Amino acid sequence: MALSHDLPIYRDTMKLLSLIIEKTKCYPRFYLYTVGEKMVNINLDMLSLIYRANSSYENKHDD
């Protein structure tokens, strides 16, 4: 299995994170710390879950 950072879904999620961070810079303060922060955190969770799923798959198929 490929490394997580080589997977298309991982790369696309990283691109999404970059876009979210860039776009939220222009948000008013109230939205930046509510909506913007939540979007960034959800995206980071997605990256973590992709990594964990890929690691779990590799551990099961090392035989």
From the number of C-beta atoms within 10 Å of its C-beta (0-12, 13-18, 19+), residue 36 rates as: buried
Cβ neighbours for 9, distance < 8 A, ≥ 6 positions apart: 50
The pLDDT value given to residue 18: 97
- pLDDT tens-digit profile of 12-62? 999 999 999 999 999 999 999 999 999 999 999 999 999 999 888 666 665
Tell me the C-alpha distance between 36 and 20, whole Å: 8
Residue 11 pLDDT exceeds 90: yes
- pLDDT tens-digit profile of 49-61? 999 998 886 666 6
